[in-house]
Structure 1
């Protein structure tokens, strides 16, 4: 039987705030935006979803290079 890779996500507690950021040709602005969002929500549980539309100027980056569990 195959394990569902999203099973752990489904079982986790719901996050009270979701921030969804659609991007188009914004590769250079994502890091400062993520840092500003982390500062704004300091001490508050939230999830950040960055939606990349695959714009031609986009540079692939690992989202793990940004702060994750900021206190």
Structure 2
């Protein structure tokens, strides 16, 4: 019975909230070198999140398809 009392006293009455767990995590930036047209000196470093890189890739793909469709008309 004494053990049960100690266990009950050790348990918190309300759940403990950890504010750090609820804070949104910043997405990791991915940096890539992009060659600038007209120069051989050095590439420009561009840093974006994975979602931003994916959106850029999708936009480029859509534009390429659009150009391809225009040429076939």
TM > 0.5 fold call: no
Which structure ranks higher in relative contact order (CA pairs < 8 Å, sequence separation ≥ 6)?
1
**What is the TM-score of this pair, normalised by structure 1?**
0.23
**What is the TM-score of this pair, normalised by structure 2?**
0.23
Larger Rg: 2
